[in-house]
Amino acid sequence: MTAFVITAAGRGSRIGRVGESLHKCLVPLNGKAVLSHIIDLAPTHARLVICVGHMADQIRDYVELAHPQLDVMFIDVPNWNAPDGGPGASLLAARDAVGDDHMIFTSCDTLWDRHQRLWSGPGASSWVALASIPPGTRVNRWTTVGTNASGSHVVQINDKDENVPVISQFTYAWTGLGYIQDCDIDDFFEGIIHENAPDGETQIPPGLQCVIGLEAKFINWTDVGDEASYRAAVQRFTGYDFVKLDQATYVLPTEGRVVKFNANPEAVTHRVHRAASLEQTVPKPIRGARTDTLMAHPYVPGVTAYQAIQRDGVEVTKKMLDWFRGAIFSSRNGAPLEDATHARELLTEFYRRKTLDRINLLPADRLRQAAYGAVQYVNFDDLISRPVWGVPHGDFNYGNVIVTPGGEFVGIDWRENFAGSFFGDLRYDLGKMLAGTYVHWDRAQHGDLRPWHAGEEHAELILDFAWELGIKREDVRTIAGLSLLNSAPLHAEPLCGVAVARGVAVLTSFELGDHIGGE
């Protein structure tokens, strides 16, 4: 049986800020961790081996939460961060696990197209996967491989040597993916053992150089090994860079799981705690066994409310509001009465201070000035004078509500707290829902930032519903505008600017006489 070995022991310093609190193999790409993409690319007959070192417990927890049925052998790489560490050291640590079988090995930042039939059956000989040297990159960034004129076999391997001449039609970048036949295993590992790189690291190319008749295979390569290439991959896969630095959500329908990462462990703890009170409104979460920054919950089959609207129109909003009334708004009956002084402090923190703090994070002076100007229109004393206490979802927008095939509604991505409090202002949920009519978040994730003109009808339904509940329509609109300003700095341009512009328009329309409804 073939061993499929993923080397994931290194620190991944080139991934930049995205990898400060998250291992580089777990950075999200098109809804899944890079590691999950690699697991999906492994041949079904292979034994999966993952070499770990840096953030090893995080990787273990992720795999157990995201792929609960998967049989994985984890290999702890000794001294992974020592001067003589490196990818070669990871493979040496996995030597006993590989045994005398064939071995496929890959770095944890290498992806390729699924349709490429790299292992439809045992190959006639060992091979390495090559691709064109990425344009604009330095030669010594890569292990370069020279092939014969037909491109079928390797004739030269140079490990990140900037003095190597590059002949474009015969010199390629090695992608980190390779296959070693069982008959070549001993020679391959002997080569790794007996030669270190000039910087002292234990590398893989010396082992490749000891394999006679090494074939070349060419793949459509996606490299996510540094921040620039990762961001480019996100842009290519999804159409828009929606990555947050301290949070990630992984959706794995075939595994029946959704996994969430939050760099703040208290946020994970509070989210799990609040899920118990939201009861059937949200899925039941599961904590990681070793780390406190990962949790999972069952995957809810269905479509987002945004997607359901494409099929069923405004009826979805009507039913979603009815569900909110029974599942969330009803929690006001069980909420304790807050001390008036404490309540004002919480509301001031959540609506005013938080907004001003977020505005300070906006990347451009023009955005900050526009946002500050709009906030001056808000009468915060008036806004915080009439909260509706309960257990809010906390991020109640159309993208965070799933409509199941049976027509039921289930909330996902619920908020961990309300300004540090378990209870919160139920008006905030309606404000978040309304904000989702001004910015269509599902479309925004795919780069479509055009106004959602059909959202006007949905907005009217939300505001009328609030009025029926005894909530001022102006309060809901104000909260919607504030939430847009709050969300803006969490996203890159141009979405950041769009969220500011629409938040400003919502908040300033009151002063201009654009009240909606008869107040």
Read off the pLDDT of residues 99-137 as tens digits, 9 standing for 90 and up.
999 999 999 999 999 888 787 655 569 999 999 988 878
The whole-angstrom separation of Cα 92 and Cα 113 is 28
Tell me the mean pLDDT in the region 156-171. Answer: 71
At 440 the pLDDT is 96
- First-last CA distance in the chain: 73
- Amino acid at site 511: E
Answer for the pair 62, 28: CB distance below 8 angstroms, yes or no: no
Q: Pick the residue with more confidence: 195 or 58?
A: 58
Strand partners, 252: 257
The whole-angstrom separation of Cα 189 and Cα 211 is 10
Assign 44 to helix, strand or coil: coil
The per-residue pLDDT for range 344-378, each reduced to its tens digit, is 899 999 999 999 999 999 999 999 999 999 999 99
Q: Pick the residue with more confidence: 178 or 279?
A: 178
Does the pLDDT of residue 337 top 80, yes or no?
no
The average confidence (pLDDT) of the chain is 90
The whole-angstrom separation of Cα 432 and Cα 394 is 8
The whole-angstrom separation of Cα 377 and Cα 202 is 62
Does the pLDDT of residue 69 top 60, yes or no?
yes
Of 147, 135, 145, the residue nearest 176 (C-alpha): 145
Tell me the mean pLDDT in the region 80-95. Answer: 92
The per-residue pLDDT for range 43-55, each reduced to its tens digit, is 988 999 999 999 9
Band (311; pLDDT cuts 50, 70, 90): very high
The tokens for 286 are 């599961």
Percent of the residues in the chain that have a pLDDT greater than 70, as a whole number = 91
**SS3 string of 463-505?**
HHHHHHCCCCHHHHHHHHHHHHHHHHHHCCCCHHHHHHHHHHH
Q: Is the sign of the CA dihedral 56, 61, 62, 66 positive or negative?
A: positive
Does the pLDDT of residue 243 top 70, yes or no?
no
